[in-house]
Amino acid sequence: MNTVKIAFFDAKPYDTESFNELNRDYGFTIKYFKFHLTPDNIVLAKGYDAVVIFVNDTVDAAMIMQLKEYGVKLIALRSAGFNNVDLKEAFGNIRVVRVPSYSPHAIAEHTVALMLTLNRKVHRAYFRTRDTNFALNGLMGFDMHGKTAGVIGTGRIGRVLVNILRGFGMEVLLHDSYPDVAFASATGSSYVSLEELYSRSDIISLNCPLTRETEHMINSSTIAMMKKGVMLINTGRGKLIRTPDLIEGLKSGQIGSAGLDVYEEESQFFFEDLSDRVLADDVLARLLTFNNVIITSHQGFFTREAIRNIAETTLKNIDDYFAGRNLENEVCFNCSILPAGVKPEKEACPVCTS
Ligand code: NAI
């Protein structure tokens, strides 16, 4: 009999459905909590062996030590990104696993959905025709074919995106801390400096992780380097963009349109139905007034295939840990800055190479 007990936070109906179905093969005891894991309710994790969390459950240094004291041995992220966990504190205290890839196609395709919607103004046409307004004024877009896209972060998601955009006949400029020249030449794209990518791209897509280096990489100075009227798409992490600077860019017309699947302060709002309340965030409220901005609430990952993969990999990660097997999806402070597929030096990372 499986005796492993799991405290599962931020559980939505689609999570419980997929986890319950796949857990039949494992038999873990799973307690689902509908709310985020916070310092105020962390006591609920007492007595559990693992906690399962999602993108907006923040686990800081103090919470790591608290979880350890409560007997929690594993934090299992249901996400690829891990910026919400203090990995430095976790190192040597609690192991952290994630789902590195649940469907890069899901996010890349959503990125393109935002691009096409903004470009061809489908969001505005939808409401117009429902109001029997069949005029085209204000709906003019541009051919994607022949235009230049800049993709920042050419990992799993970025690569799928590059292939789709090349399919449109776009020139694609790439930027990554670890350029893959073979990928660039195979797809007919090219790595350039960030400055060149900013200055030449008609559409810029952010597909890199949130790190100390990338936090607020899109700010008033970098926006000033961009082409006037550029389309900016962020399906990475909200804090890649300094939102007040984006708003200024939109007001001046320097940014022509923006598609945001993530937002700096999203943890207070996204994934919840707040339609019967007043929106208290002035920055988000301002963003929502622009007719050339589309905000989706972190739904890039949300496909049937991805939800199933998240449950499959998370349960396998937990099973691997408690069965004493090698953890292929472990993240730790030492190697978290390495790109996909790059193995850390043995000395640099005893956790990841053990
Ligand atoms: P990945 O790890 O496969 O690729 C990330 C790439 O970014 C790597 O090639 C890495 O070298 C590069 N990178 C790291 N620091 C960089 C920097 N300073 N400048 C340029 N490139 C840099 O990750 P994957 O799966 O492609 O995901 C990318 C990001 O997308 C995740 O970190 C996560 O934040 C976000 N994401 C968003 C989802 C959504 O639903 N909107 C779902 C899944 C991930």
pLDDT digits (tens, 9 = 90+) for 141-180: 999 999 999 999 999 999 999 999 999 999 999 999 999 9
Rounded to two decimals, what is the model's pTM?
A: 0.89
Would you say residue 354 has pLDDT above 50?
no
- Cα(182)–Cα(168) distance, rounded to whole angstroms? 21
Pocket perturbation via mutation, ligand 1, pick of 160, 208, 337, 352 by most ligand atoms within 8 A of CB: 208
Q: What is the mean pLDDT of the chain?
A: 94
Would you say residue 347 has pLDDT above 70?
no
Q: What is the mean pLDDT of residues 16-25?
A: 97
Residues with CB under 6 A from ligand 1: 80-81, 101, 104, 107, 152-158, 175-178, 207-211, 213-214, 235-237, 261-262, 298, 300-301, 339-340
Closest residue by CA, ligand 1 atom 5: 155
pLDDT (0 to 100) of residue 299: 96
- Would you place residue 34 in the very low, low, confident or very high pLDDT band (cuts 50, 70, 90)? very high
Would you say residue 246 has pLDDT above 80?
yes
pLDDT (0 to 100) of residue 346: 43
Closest residue by CA, ligand 1 atom 27: 157
Structure tokens at 160: 């799928």
Find the helix packing angle between 304-322 and 104-120, rounded to 10°: 150
Q: What is the mean pLDDT of residues 263-279?
A: 90
Per CATH, the homologous superfamily of domain 104-295 is NAD(P)-binding Rossmann-like Domain (3.40.50.720)
Report which ligand 1 atom has the smallest distance to the Cα of 301. 40
pLDDT (0 to 100) of residue 272: 86
Query: What's the gap in Å between 236 CA and the centre of ligand 1?
Result: 7
pLDDT (0 to 100) of residue 266: 85
- Cα(204)–Cα(217) distance, rounded to whole angstroms? 13
Query: 8-12, 74-78, 265-269: which has the minimum mean pLDDT?
Result: 265-269
Q: What is the mean pLDDT of residues 25-35?
A: 97
pLDDT (0 to 100) of residue 343: 53
- Would you place residue 350 in the very low, low, confident or very high pLDDT band (cuts 50, 70, 90)? very low
Q: What is the mean pLDDT of residues 230-244?
A: 97
pLDDT (0 to 100) of residue 81: 85
- Would you place residue 335 in the very low, low, confident or very high pLDDT band (cuts 50, 70, 90)? low
- Would you place residue 232 in the very low, low, confident or very high pLDDT band (cuts 50, 70, 90)? very high
Query: 59-68, 128-137, 338-347: which has the minimum mean pLDDT?
Result: 338-347
Q: What residues have CB less than 8 Å from 60, skipping those under 6 apart?
A: 39, 86, 89
For 167, phi then psi, to 5°, come to -60, -30
CATH match of 5-102+303-322 with 3.40.50.720: yes
- Would you place residue 342 in the very low, low, confident or very high pLDDT band (cuts 50, 70, 90)? low
The residue ranges of every structural domain in the chain are 5-102+303-322, 104-295
Query: What's the gap in Å between 277 CA and the centre of ligand 1?
Result: 33
Would you say residue 229 has pLDDT above 90?
yes
Task: List Cα–Cα distances, 248 to 15, 30, 166, 195, 219, in angstroms.
Answer: 38, 46, 31, 20, 10
Q: What residues have CB less than 8 Å from 89, skipping those under 6 apart?
A: 60, 61, 64, 65
For residue 231, give the H/E element and its range.
strand 230-234
Active site residues: 237, 266, 298
- Would you place residue 306 in the very low, low, confident or very high pLDDT band (cuts 50, 70, 90)? very high
Q: What is the mean pLDDT of residues 73-82?
A: 94
Would you say residue 277 has pLDDT above 70?
yes
Q: What share of the chain is helix, strand, coil (3-state, %, to 5)?
A: 35, 15, 50
Query: What's the gap in Å between 344 CA and the centre of ligand 1?
Result: 18
pLDDT (0 to 100) of residue 80: 87
- Would you place residue 72 in the very low, low, confident or very high pLDDT band (cuts 50, 70, 90)? very high
- Cα(164)–Cα(111) distance, rounded to whole angstroms? 10
Would the CATH topology of 5-102+303-322 be identical to that of 104-295? yes
Closest residue by CA, ligand 1 atom 39: 300
Would you say residue 6 has pLDDT above 60?
yes
Query: What's the gap in Å between 165 CA and the centre of ligand 1?
Result: 18
Would you say residue 114 has pLDDT above 70?
yes
